[in-house]
Amino acid sequence: MTEVPEHLLARSRARRAALTGESVDTPAPAAEAAASVPAVEESGSAPATATAAAAPAAVTPAAVEPTPPWVEAAKRRRKIPFWAVPVLAALPVWAVFYALTLDPPTPKDSPIALGDEVYANKGCSGCHGAGGGGNGNIPALIGDTAVTKVWPTPAKQVAWIALGSEGWKKSGQTTMENGMAVKGGMPAFAASLDPEEIMAVTLHERLLNGEAFDAEVWSKDFAATMEEFLPDEAAEYEKVLEEWTAQPPV
């Protein structure tokens, strides 16, 4: 609605009074203004109240506590993959099975350990090589010239090592057990090694060819061979074989 100015109202009343003869009563502007103030205040108070009621209360954000360094480090640390958990759990079982498949260690006082020591330190490896592969003109103890081929009978090999090529020939032999001619060069070890050591190094050389101790194979013609080639020490050699038969070398 548009408000009519006061001077226009006064002019309208004066003209109506002139036409009708009525007196002109001009209301006091102050009273009209006073009367209009409550209406303005009332009309303006409602939106203000509604605005005040609609305004939300200010919310203060809660303080965020800093994350400790060790927690941050744990979050960044790489986690174990899920598939690794059963693998880790099975490790003890695998270790037990692995340990059971290992060969037991060789006792230090066993014939096998003694044979290793004699072969390495008493002149055998210097000529025939650490693994029996030969050295220059000296034949190998493995392969085509393997001792198990030259000496199928362990007792004959024991006598050969004890007597050497010269002692073998002096006993009336001109060939080795496989028929090869004796040319010479093999030293006699009976003077530097005792019967147990000669037996042990014989076992070592046969083990280089994958032949494990077999009491039946070793017993073949053993006593007769010792009596023929090494009569003075035959009893000692036979005693060693008896001990090996009762408790095979491992």
Q: What is the pTM of this model?
A: 0.60
> CA 121, CA 117: separation in Å to the nearest integer?
6
Query: Most confidently modeled of 15-19, 88-92, 125-129, 226-230?
Result: 226-230
Q: Tell me phi and psi for residue 226, to 5 degrees.
A: -65, -40
Would residue 27 count as lying in a domain? no
pLDDT at residue 17, rounded to an integer: 72
Q: Is residue 153 part of a domain?
A: yes
User: Structurally, how many domains does the chain consist of?
Assistant: 1
Mean per-residue pLDDT over the chain, rounded:
83
Identify whether 32 is part of a domain. no
Q: Which two three-digit tokens encode residue 177?
A: 């057990």
- 110-122 pLDDT, tens digit per residue, is 999 999 999 999 9
| Domain containing residue 224 | 111-246
Do 248 and 241 meet the contact criterion of CB atoms below 8 Å apart?
A: no
pLDDT tens sequence across 223-245: 999 999 999 999 999 999 999 99
CATH number at residue 154: 1.10.760.10
Residues 249, 236: Cα–Cα separation, whole Å: 17
pLDDT > 70: what percent of the chain? 77
In a domain, residue 123? The reply is: yes
Please give, one letter per residue, the 3-state secondary structure of 154-188: HHHHHHHHHHHHHHHHHCCCCECCCCCECCCCCCC
Specify whether the CB–CB gap between 158 and 150 falls below 8 A.
no
The answer to whether residue 212 sits within a structural domain is yes
Residue 58 lies in a domain: no
Query: In this structure, is residue 51 part of a structural domain?
Result: no
Domain assignment present for 121:
yes
